[in-house]
Structure 1
Amino acid sequence: MALPDTETILTAAGLVATAVVWAVERFLPGRKRIGYRVQMDTAIGMNPQDAHSLVQLRLLRQDQEISDATLALLRFENDGGKDIVRQDYQEPLTVEFAGRTVIGAEVPDANPTDLVRMLTRNGGGLRHDGGRLFLPKVPLNKRNHFKVLVLLTGSDTDQSPEGGRAGGAAGTVTVGGFISGGRIRRNAQRWGPRKLSLALGGTFIVLLGLLGGLLLSGRVTPVPGECAAGRLTVDGSTAFAPPMREIARQYRARCADAEVTVLESGSLSGLGNLNREAGPASAEGPGFIAVSDVPAPSLYRRLEGNPVGVIVLSLVANDKAGVDGLTSDQIRKIYDGTYTNWKQLNGHDLPIRLVSRDAGSGTRRAFETSVLHSSEPGVVSSYDCGDKDRDERARLTRCEVNSTKSLLDAVDRVPGAIGYAEVYAAAQRRHVVSVRLNGNEPDIEWGRQRDYPFWTVEYLYTYGRPEDGSLTAKFLAFMDSDTAKNIMRMYKHVPCADRQSLPVAVCRP
């Protein structure tokens, strides 16, 4: 076998070095990381010198004059590799303005916009004492950010370079706090961690391409035994449909002779379709896999289940309801009609409107089993999820929809609506709030789920054991690949292949 030439060795060495530097910069210093920077810290000049003889201007706030006024604008963001939840804050974020007094603070910008409400809500939002501003413990997913605009009075004679200098320096700004398993750091104004990470990542990709060209001479070597030809239908859970579609797309990209179609008729409907269409009479036909959020009912004795991942679910509410946390007892009383208005739960004066999944939904069965501990009320009083246009005499305003998307569409649209869905899809909606359950946030980190009951195991079912070498068998094997596992993690699911991070019994067939 020929030895690698000098060019190949040097390229490989550069690739390894770049990868190490990128990994150290991006992950090792603390995968949980809040970055901040002072974008503005400037004095507010009220009286131009040339106009003193003509006019005297005063700065008033709530009828009180403010002298030596300054404005500071700070940006905070999660620029680490992991999401940050409220429990990660051992000490909350504080901002100290040396020699100055905080008069007030607002949140002019946030992504997602729900952060504005979390940061400013009565009783738990921004507060200040003297020269210190205290920020509430808000969850921050990767790349989430918010800005805080602070009005101050007084001046700091020790104007350190640490203070922002946009528009004229006003003073020293110090940010404190403590994140468990992470850190809080100041970001550079012109060369932030994101740009550095992108630059290193780009260099890595270029070197990787060069090394691949040198070693493979432009040829791609397929993974042996991964592909099979034929047609396969995957049908069932609407909650698991987004990652499944992406996994199927990745498989088709690798295997040109495979046709994989993903449908989403609901967990129980998918199981019924599998039992009917993939039975003994059609054993030689196209493959069929059912995706279910719950174990198959006992009547489907010939179906064999393969657990693939843990899916974290959440109660979701329209943001106008004014609540972001409920207890299990409060939820049960909402669904039995004890509570009919959000003001009864310290929310806004809006009627509670229940948006439910239909009886074929595995997510609904998981909700009934792990949260309600009973069946949902059977009366459907609303067609449009907003009014009792189906049964005006019903105590509850309740509708049923046939998919996760339809449920989130309704909760996003209807003020006062509440329902349940998987966490990743809910986070994409502007007016949908994930509701804390008994004070606990839904989180992909399994260690945090001991006190959070609303999750379920996702199963892939086949009619009996698929034949070795068939497209069905090959696709099931692909579900254990790094590609499929990473897609699941991206959608906030925990792959069963990560057995070291899950209790033994969770992913047991």
Structure 2
Amino acid sequence: MALATLGVVVPGIAAFYEFVVKGRKRLGYRVQMDTTATNVVETDDPGVFDQLREPLVDPTLVLLRIENNGQTHIDEDDYAVLHDKKAGVTITFPDRKVVGMVVTELSDDGMRSSFEDGGGLAVKGSRILLPKVPMNRGAHYKVLAALDTMNGKMDQYPPPKVACTIKGGVTGGKIQETRSRTGTPKRVIALIVFLVAIVVAQLVVFTQSNNGAPLDCASGHLNVTGSTAFAPIAREAAKSYQDLCPDATFGFDMRGSGEGLQFLDQAGRDGKADGQLTFSDGEKPDDMPGLLPRPIAFFLFTLVVNKDSGVADLTGDQIERIYQGKITNWRAVGGNDLAIRLISRNPGSGTRNAFQRRVLGGVREPGTNSDDCRNRDPGSPPGVVRCARDSTDAVLRTVESTPGAMGYSELGAATGRAGLTAIRIDGHPATVDEADHGAYPFWETEFGYTAGEPAANSLAASFLRYLTNQVGADIIRSYGDRPCAELANPQLCRPT
């Protein structure tokens, strides 16, 4: 009996220790190599690092192994960093700067996509930023870094510091240093040194070309028109582009998708479309054949109500009946006893067109009957108070300040406003996943339009590339939207 009890208790204690005390999720790292990379024997031939255009002062090589040495799978969400941060692990080299870096080994080829463009792999001074790599139990990858001194030659450098927090288990997971079990063969080291030398040489050439600016930089002036919903993203992306490419300047006159498309179309007909770019929530009208679309983002919109309305979820049928004027008080849909007031965008707005097409089933909104959005104008027929505003921000400010008001806007612009409640549609919130899988209906493709094909080296073409596959894509994500290429169903973004 005692033995039987012991046979149950001991494994139980072991399991408790392994999964609770020790923690289920563990990310380990090993410094498998940290060595100088200078000539040991003096010869007539220069060393591989001495052949660079700007030789390194005191080059060193570090090989690190990052591994899942816990008991469970590590997911992207297990990395305890802000959701909009792509890097999950930071490696810091005190007193050294990173001049080159390669990922040399993946134990599972499924991890490869995490290191592709946009995955979060980056070098910043003395740090290497590694992406939030999903890893099965026992999986690992290796990172080889070429370094140089920051403060003159030293006999010995401090070891690398690896920072990260992994959530999981009762007491929380963590990152810990593990011991290397095997050494690195000399032939492998020689091959690694050769490969790193190539990487460092390319890096030196890159940093000395174009004064450190990205290779895709363009110069000139770009006039941007169109969607007020996309305006905050466009402005932030333009500022970021200018920081990298100081010879580029931007002007903005964003009054709505419809007005921007009409301006660009006329500029194209007049032969004055060079340096013009228009963003539109959705596709152009059929009578503008000269305008060429480029899908930029999967753009989310949301219905919003004044918080006093007392509602947070509406069915598609309820929304249609409200805009038809058949429901006039929030009490009829489970809210407070408050008259409904509808704040819309002016005709020609891309946001309004998306709302009519995606939510109202293609039915046009009725005309307005109020200027102040609180009372019907004299002589207007009875019914729901309806008014319109000319920008996303104006709609949101009016809904916030008007009891019983409801309107619609781009999701990012509405997020974080204390006086508003975002409406779920048929129980589904405005998220990329919900919309990508057909559950949430209020979305649209954001297009960038030019009159004809811009020159490949023009500022318009360069800025469009920047938005879709460079830092601009990160800015789009930060507003709650998604670059088209990252959708589970990228076909959704294509013009019909």
Partner Cα separation in structure 1 for residue 456 and residue 416 of structure 2: 40
- 2:34 aligns with none
- 1:9 aligns with 60
Give 3-state SS (helix, strand or coil) of 1:468's partner.
coil
| Structure 2 residue corresponding to 1:483, chosen from 443, 461, 471 | 471
Once the two structures are TM-superposed, the CA of residue 268 in structure 1 deviates from its matched residue by 0.5
| Structure 2 residue corresponding to 1:81, chosen from 72, 80, 83 | 83
Closer, same or farther in 2 for the Cα pair 1:390/1:460, shift >3 Å? farther
- Give the TM-score, by structure 1 length: 0.59
- 2:282 aligns with 294
Residue 507 (structure 1) aligned with residue 494 (structure 2): yes
* Unaligned 5+ runs, structure 2: 1-45, 50-55, 86-165, 175-199
Letter in 2 for 1:254: L
Give 3-state SS (helix, strand or coil) of 2:416's partner.
coil
Closer, same or farther in 2 for the Cα pair 1:334/1:504, shift >3 Å? same
| Structure 1 residue corresponding to 2:395, chosen from 395, 399, 407 | 407
Letter in 1 for 2:214: V
Partner Cα separation in structure 2 for residue 267 and residue 31 of structure 1: 37
Give 3-state SS (helix, strand or coil) of 2:249's partner.
strand
Residue 223 (structure 1) aligned with residue 236 (structure 2): no
Question: Which digits, 9 at most, give the CA deviation of each residue in 1:227-256, with x for residues without a partner?
Answer: 222211111011111111111111111222
- 1:387 aligns with 375
Once the two structures are TM-superposed, the CA of residue 479 in structure 1 deviates from its matched residue by 2.3
Once the two structures are TM-superposed, the CA of residue 427 in structure 1 deviates from its matched residue by 1.0
Give 3-state SS (helix, strand or coil) of 1:299's partner.
coil
Question: Which digits, 9 at most, give the CA deviation of each residue in 1:142-170, with x for residues without a partner?
Answer: xxxxxxxxxxxxxxxxxxxxxxxxxxxxx
- 1:126 aligns with none
Once the two structures are TM-superposed, the CA of residue 223 in structure 1 deviates from its matched residue by 2.3
8 Å CA contact retained: 2:297, 2:493? no
Partner Cα separation in structure 2 for residue 448 and residue 82 of structure 1: 19
Letter in 2 for 1:251: Y
Closer, same or farther in 2 for the Cα pair 1:507/1:255, shift >3 Å? same
Closer, same or farther in 2 for the Cα pair 1:329/1:446, shift >3 Å? closer
- 1:118 aligns with none
| Structure 2 residue corresponding to 1:332, chosen from 308, 311, 320 | 320
Overall identity of the aligned pairs, in %: 33
Once the two structures are TM-superposed, the CA of residue 337 in structure 1 deviates from its matched residue by 0.8
8 Å CA contact retained: 2:214, 2:245? no
8 Å CA contact retained: 1:238, 1:266? yes
Letter in 2 for 1:231: H
Letter in 1 for 2:259: S
Partner Cα separation in structure 2 for residue 6 and residue 453 of structure 1: 59
Partner Cα separation in structure 2 for residue 343 and residue 320 of structure 1: 12
Partner Cα separation in structure 1 for residue 168 and residue 375 of structure 2: 47
- 2:267 aligns with 277
- 2:18 aligns with none
- 1:239 aligns with 229
Once the two structures are TM-superposed, the CA of residue 478 in structure 1 deviates from its matched residue by 2.1
- Give the TM-score, by structure 2 length: 0.60
Question: Which digits, 9 at most, give the CA deviation of each residue in 1:204-223, with x for residues without a partner?
Answer: xxxxxxxx9xx869966322
| Structure 2 residue corresponding to 1:439, chosen from 427, 435, 442 | 427
- 1:494 aligns with 482
Runs of 4+ in 1 over 6 A off after TM superposition: 182-188
Closer, same or farther in 2 for the Cα pair 1:502/1:7, shift >3 Å? farther
Residue 456 (structure 1) aligned with residue 444 (structure 2): yes
Give 3-state SS (helix, strand or coil) of 1:457's partner.
strand
- 2:195 aligns with none
8 Å CA contact retained: 2:213, 2:245? no
Closer, same or farther in 2 for the Cα pair 1:398/1:474, shift >3 Å? same
Letter in 2 for 1:318: N
How large is the RMSD of aligned CA atoms in angstroms? 3.4
Give 3-state SS (helix, strand or coil) of 2:468's partner.
coil
Give 3-state SS (helix, strand or coil) of 2:432's partner.
coil
Once the two structures are TM-superposed, the CA of residue 418 in structure 1 deviates from its matched residue by 0.7
Closer, same or farther in 2 for the Cα pair 1:446/1:294, shift >3 Å? same
Give 3-state SS (helix, strand or coil) of 1:480's partner.
helix
Question: Which digits, 9 at most, give the CA deviation of each residue in 1:471-493, with x for residues without a partner?
Answer: 22222222233211111111111
| Structure 1 residue corresponding to 2:245, chosen from 250, 255, 271 | 255
Letter in 2 for 1:330: Q
Residue 419 (structure 1) aligned with residue 410 (structure 2): no
Letter in 2 for 1:370: R
Of 257-266 and 397-406, deviating more is 257-266
Aligned residues: 334
* Unaligned 5+ runs, structure 1: 35-77, 84-181, 194-211
